[in-house]
Amino acid sequence: MTDVTSLSIAEINSGLVSKSFSSRELTQAYLERIEKLKSLNCYIEVCGESALKAADECDQMIKSGRRLPLLGVPIAIKDVITTKGIRTTCASKMLKDFIPPYDATAIIKMRENGGFVLGKTNMDEFAMGSSTENSFFGASRNPWDTARVPGGSSGGSAVAVAAALAPASLGSDTGGSVRQPASYCNVVGLKPTYGRISRYGLIAYASSLDQIGIFSRTVADCALLAQSLFGHDPLDSTSVEMAIPDLSKEIKRGIKGLKIGIPKEYLIEGVSKEVLQSVQDALSTLTQLGAEIVDISLPHTEYALACYYILALAEASSNLARYDGIRYGYRSPQARDLKQLYSLSRSEGFGKEVKRRIMVGTYALSAGYYDAYYKRAQQARTLIAQDFRSAFSEQCDVIACPTAPTTAFRIGEQSSDPVQMYLNDIFTVPVNLAGLPGISIPCGFDSQGLPVGLQLIGKPWDEGTLLRAANAYESSTDWHKRFPEV
């Protein structure tokens, strides 16, 4: 029998319908592989018993002739998305024993379309990081080189797909946390338009930037999963009611005449020459497929990183105030009075990076500094969004650039230098600031055998064109067909 863990969702659907294998056999194969590759540390919680029970139910539905887009497909979930009855920790001591009483809307939609939870994946604590090293449960490892990081904060979700420990996974993207690990691990990673997928049940880091995203092996799988999760949700006030195109059909249209913008501000010092070469080669392929490359300018790009780290950290300071040792989460046993309960629960429950971000965010919001930092960052955000609007309305349909300035770095290499770590997000944070959809797709390898990702950025609500361009490139190359030897 074919190794079922190497199949795409489309191939799994076909195999289940033709009875080449059952959902239980598929799930069992994944569980065995997860056990075998525990050293990658990409799962915090493996839901073996409940996943097999769900698989049996799916097999009965398939037997009765039921057809759903994800029927019988086990999916890995970043441990920042609430799952009813399944521990949801945010990779933090603060929530290490938290079991939510409800499912996130994205999980409900996934289940309604036939998918089920295989396990909860490792991440940077409270989604704060670019390497998945800031986890209470230890760092995840990149399957292409286990001495290197998988990216972050959704590193575990990227590793699960790259190492064939799940056919697809969900992550969250606040400043690149789906796209950057997708680039480092050679998988497809989509961050939809802000408001496309409900954030209800996504534990908040920075509410105006957070968005649930998708990891998959192919663009077609990504389109299938996106179609299942997109849609308005009255439980999320930032969710928008917009028509959803048939993405599986949309991606098959060609890209002849499509204008792809190249921002001059993204060709900066510090970007690896090998990364730039891979991206240039990808642009040549897109040109051969009929796309037109145009030079564009996004003049306020230089302010994006500073703007992001003021706004995101200010929102984090506000959102994480709820973890006070009173209502739920970690409660310090050392506290002798209320003041100590607050301070000790927070200082013992949060990790170093989370505490750093809370303190910076609190400072930016404090009296006397609010106008100098937070207000000016909001003004800069408006200018950054206007740059994108202008480029899309006048010059191009899609924007292309590297996903990350380098390939995956070594574990521990940047841990002592937070500023260097933050620079990994330089090409991804503008997309979140402007609320746009973005995708990372495999586009090559460097001389050390490490993956490179091409980032494509689309107009708001135009995931169809974004996925169409990504699929056209993927169909003409075989980078996505390479798997790490683990």
Does residue 284 have a cis peptide bond before it, meaning omega lies within 30 degrees of 0? no
Q: Report whether pLDDT(262) > 70.
A: yes
pLDDT at site 398: 98
* 228 flagged as catalytic: no
Q: Report whether pLDDT(306) > 70.
A: yes
| pTM score of the predicted model | 0.97
Q: Write down the catalytic residue from 78, 120, 191, 459.
A: 78
Domain residue limits, the chain? 4-259+397-481
* 177 flagged as catalytic: yes
pLDDT at site 419: 82
Rounded Cα distance between 35 and 78, Å, is 18
Rounded Cα distance between 130 and 181, Å, is 8
State the average pLDDT over residues 7-14. Answer: 97
Q: Write down the catalytic residue from 153, 198, 216, 317.
A: 153
State the average pLDDT over residues 134-156. Answer: 98
- Are 77 and 57 a contacting pair, CB within 8 Å? no
DSSP structure class, residue 39: G
- Are 243 and 381 a contacting pair, CB within 8 Å? no
Q: Write down the catalytic residue from 177, 216, 317, 345.
A: 177
The average confidence (pLDDT) of the chain is 97
Encode pLDDT of 388-419 as tens digits: 999 999 999 999 999 999 999 999 999 888 88
Identify which has the larger pLDDT, 2 or 368: 368
* Range with lowest mean pLDDT among 107-111, 268-272, 447-451: 268-272
pLDDT at site 214: 98
Q: Report whether pLDDT(423) > 90.
A: no
pLDDT at site 323: 97
pLDDT at site 351: 98
Q: Report whether pLDDT(151) > 60.
A: yes
| DSSP conformation letters of 90-150 | TTSGGGTT---SS--HHHHHHHHTT-EEEEEE--SGGG--SSS-S-TT----BTTBTTB--
Report in angstroms the alpha-carbon separations of 388 from 61, 225, 359, 394, 398: 46, 27, 31, 10, 10
CATH number of 4-259+397-481: 3.90.1300.10
State the average pLDDT over residues 146-164. Answer: 98
pLDDT at site 481: 96
| Phi-psi domain of 132 (left: phi exceeds 0; alpha: psi -120 through 50; beta: other) | left
- Which tokens belong to 145? 């080189």
Encode pLDDT of 75-117 as tens digits: 999 999 999 999 999 999 999 999 999 999 999 999 999 999 9
Q: What percent of the chain has pLDDT over 90?
A: 96
Rounded Cα distance between 418 and 304, Å, is 17
Q: Report whether pLDDT(1) > 80.
A: no
State the average pLDDT over residues 118-131. Answer: 98
pLDDT at site 150: 98
